Amino acid sequence: MQNSARRTGEECTLPAVTQLQELLRSLPGPPDAVLHRLLVLVCEQLELDVAFVGLLDGPDRVVALAAGADGTRHTGVEGRREPLAETYCRHVLERGGLLERDTSLDADLSALALTEELGLACYAGVPLVLDGRPVGTLCAAGAARHPSLSARDLRMLQALAEVAAPLAAQLGSDVVGTAPDRSATLADLDRLVAATSGATDLESLARPLLEVLHDVTGLASTYLTTVDVAGGVQHVRLAHNTRADFALPEGLVVPWDDTLCKRSLDEGRACTPDVQAVWGDSDAARELGIAVYVSVPVELSDGRLWGTLCAADPQAPADGGPALERHLPALRLFARLVAGEVEREAALVAARETAARATADARTDPLTGLHGRRVVEPWLAEQLADLGPGEAVLVAYVDVDRFKAVNDAHGHAAGDAVLVAVADHLRALSRPDDLVARLGGDEFVLAARLPVGAAEALARRLREASAVPSEPPVTLSTGTAVRAGGAGQGAGAAGLLAEADAAMYRVKRR
């Protein structure tokens, strides 16, 4: 088994598959071929090395089929027969489901011989139940601890188990030791897997799904919308149109209260084979020429409505529409995939914003709003690196005189107010491109890049501006150091800062 824990760093939310039953049952191919593709989908969605169907055979568990994300047969797993009591499947059946990111943390699992023999470091499994009776398990495993297995992954397995159970029952124990027909091609499911595994954002996921949805339903237009309930509008985000005379345009914005999607949700009517008969008062349907309509909500995991996934056609079906119902599992599956991608992207954006805030916090002094200590030396190093002839970098190292006495006599709140006043004082003395930073405690730095001829004048002005308009009033001791371009590298940023610090202490001793 290969290392499966590819999701490192921040945890990502994978698309959740909650309904696949009718879609898979409608695809051609023998049971073992359908199950094989299902197992590949499990591996890809959970990012695990191997997925398998285990069947109960008396006191034993037999692995009927096993596959990896690359579609290959797992000969080290497939065909294995062990006493049920010695398998992970026993715990799956006893617990009603099993989700373990790190098997070493579960004493029952780590004690099983299979854990060491097969190198099982993470595991997920659910029972296969047929007519109320367990017939086996649908499981997946990996060779490394998994960073992000979640309840959503378990729900996906439970949904797929409803499809796998009758297919597994058809196989029976006579398939043990035989290889499934790998030549069987399930075009729609293959395209679905390609869409979900290759997507990098919502559009690259949704566009292939809309194409597959057209192939499944045969309806002329399939489209994805977003809904702003508070704003009262619906927006056609993406659309796949196959007829020039009937197209739902991308970017179309319509009032939410007049949409077929809202009527569909309010009335619990997902399929409408005769829109004119049911919603003859709909101006939107009449203007767009919609005769057949299928719509399901795209809901986030917290139940909020994000949008809708729809299919429409200008012609009523010859059979009156009963066949429309069989398309609902496909729409609901795709809606969950879209919702999962929306939440994944939202999680990534939130993580980036959190990281940006953490970086900003690390670089900013929370009391004064000035730059923090971490900014000073890199800023000085950058200025010194390309300092040209006739330019200079000046550093003023500033210390508040008798600051401890302020805290002792007036309290720390008054001391904080003094530090804020010092920060404002230094800002007033600086130019827009200068650096003003608090090093910590009552020590500050003001640094500037300027012409050599102006450096001494600025240094003198900073040293003389020692009185701070604060309450209580305080004075500053300021030491300065200058590095001119073309004068050699000296001791660099740290050395220049140390020179200014030493100059400040000379001022304090006077």
Residues 206 and 171 in one domain: no
Residues 495 and 433 in one domain: yes
- Listed residues 161, 186, 211: the one ending a domain: 186
Is 323 part of any domain?
yes
489 close to 383: Cβ distance less than 8 angstroms: no
Q: What are phi and psi of 83, to 5 degrees?
A: -55, 130
Q: Which of 30, 33, 70, 35 is nearest to 52 (CA)?
A: 35
Q: Which of 97, 155, 119 is nearest to 336 (CA)?
A: 155
Is 361 part of any domain?
no
CATH number at residue 157: 3.30.450.40
Q: Tokens 């159970």 label which residue?
A: 165
* Torsion of Cα atoms, 303 then 307 then 311 then 314, to 10°: 130
363 close to 375: Cβ distance less than 8 angstroms: yes
Residues 149 and 245 in one domain: no
Residues 418 and 301 in one domain: no
Is 367 part of any domain?
no
* Global pTM value: 0.46
The H or E element spanning position 205 is helix 202-217
Report the distance separating Cα 396 and Cα 364, nearest Å.
19
Residues 402 and 322 in one domain: no
Residues 221 and 265 in one domain: yes
Task: Please give the residue range of the domain that contains residue 276.
Answer: 199-349
Is 123 part of any domain?
yes
Is 1 part of any domain?
no
- Listed residues 186, 216, 237: the one ending a domain: 186
Find the largest Cα–Cα distance for the chain: 101
Is 359 part of any domain?
no
Residue 492 CB-half CA count within 13 A: 7
Structural domains in the chain (count):
3
- Residues serving a catalytic function are 442
Residues 251 and 279 in one domain: yes
Residue by residue, pLDDT tens for the chain (510 residues) are 444 434 433 333 333 344 454 555 555 567 788 888 888 888 988 899 999 999 988 788 888 889 988 888 776 677 788 898 899 999 999 899 999 999 999 999 999 988 888 889 999 999 998 877 888 999 999 999 998 898 888 888 888 888 888 888 777 544 433 333 322 234 555 556 655 666 678 898 899 889 888 888 889 999 999 999 999 999 999 999 998 889 889 999 999 988 999 999 999 999 998 898 899 888 888 888 899 999 999 999 899 999 999 999 998 765 555 567 877 888 888 898 899 889 989 888 888 887 777 777 678 898 999 999 989 999 999 999 988 889 999 999 999 999 999 999 999 999 999 999 999 999 999 999 999 999 999 999 999 999 999 999 999 999 999 999 999 999 999 999 999 986 555 568 999 999 999 999 999 887
Q: What angle do CA 120, 164, 50 make, to 5 degrees?
A: 25
Residues 297 and 384 in one domain: no
Sheet hosting strand 435-440, strand order edge to edge: 435-440, 443-451, 391-400, 474-484, 467-468
Residues 91 and 165 in one domain: yes
Is 366 part of any domain?
no
Quote the tokens at residue 450. 């300027």
- Listed residues 118, 151, 186: the one ending a domain: 186
Is 309 part of any domain?
yes
Residues 181 and 211 in one domain: no
Residues 462 and 340 in one domain: no
